[in-house]
A and B are shown apart, each in its own frame.
Chain A
């Protein structure tokens, strides 16, 4: 192999490596897309809002481990299935998740928009599969353990918080609060 060819290969590899962080960012689902995937007939999905009282905001703050200010949370419901669109800060920027719950059980979680430079491994199906059939314990923790990902610690933490939050919100929709 000539020296020139080797130099070009190294430069190409360096260029590829430098572009990897930028590839992490992206919008993977729009609201319409996720609704169409989740609900067989989107026209039957009712757009709802959960209005929160001070006690509920406190409970959410406890799950998220930071103050929570919003007065309402939007969700969509069809039958017993709820679709939640929730955002939580990863390391520096918010990650938007779609979480599907049904009667206190987490059915599916997806990353809709990822804005950090790295850590998007959490959107891989092999990883999100760990959240299927998760429930919330009385201590507001996920019933089954979830593995971490080296280099995506903050993203993993956000995903776990959002999964717990969605299950908590789901519980409130059934409690009628």
Chain B
């Protein structure tokens, strides 16, 4: 290759090296920072924290579910993924609230993993493993002033929490367990309980956070980075010669 042609190529590459570097700089900075953050997910606790900012969560509107709870005995009962709450007070560990019933003086709340039996002052009397009674975690519950009832083996049975046994009932209970309903706004602790920072940062890193065109733009930036590496090498190498 003649020295003149090499100089021409170098000049061309140098100009485009600068232009493409400036053009891709913002995306490369974003991808670099998010990549570093993802490499240290545990250190930054990205998988355990949930962003709440509206503008950060705009791509996930359809995936975000309004927090739900039970309205029992004039109180709102709900779980935030870690704790059972009565209104705004955190009480006991409970990953997810599935249902519950109240006798008026006692509560039986179906958490994922165990049922919590509480007295009127919200003291935890006992936690029950429904599997020990042959029941599923989300078995239908009912309550009356006499106690709690559960639907098992195609009939309603009295749940004897003192003897730890099911007793057959003659009649069906008057009312069944309540359905979970959306929490009132003042109790909704956080709109987002499911999209972690890890997910958001990963989606930013891949470009998905920016919409359908995002991954293509990040791909383009990656190609620009490749071009920068090649052109930079060529500029250095041709000058050296």
Contact = CB atoms under 8 A, between A and B. Distances in A.
A71 B131 contact: no
A113 B162 contact: no
A71 B127 contact: no
A94 B123 CA distance: 21
B219 interface: no
Contacts of B113: 93-94, 115
Contacts, number: 44
Given A69-B92, A87-B114, A31 B164 contact: yes
A70 to B, nearest CB: 5
Interface residues of A, number: 19
A69 B164 contact: no
B124 A113 contact: no
Given A31-B132, A96-B129, A70 B124 contact: yes
A156 to B, nearest CB: 21
A71 B164 contact: no
Contacts of A47: 162-164
Interface in A36-88: 47, 49, 69-74, 85, 87
15 contacts: A30-B131, A47-B163, A69-B124, A70-B127, A71-B119, A71-B124, A71-B125, A72-B126, A74-B126, A87-B114, A93-B113, A94-B113, A94-B129, A96-B131, A96-B132
Sorted from nearest, which 10 A-B pairs have the closest CB atoms? A69-B124, A31-B132, A47-B163, A71-B125, A113-B131, A96-B129, A70-B124, A27-B131, A69-B92, A71-B123
Interface of B: 92, 113-114, 119, 123-127, 129, 131-134, 162-164
Interface of A: 27, 30-31, 47, 49, 69-74, 85, 87, 93-94, 96, 112-113, 115
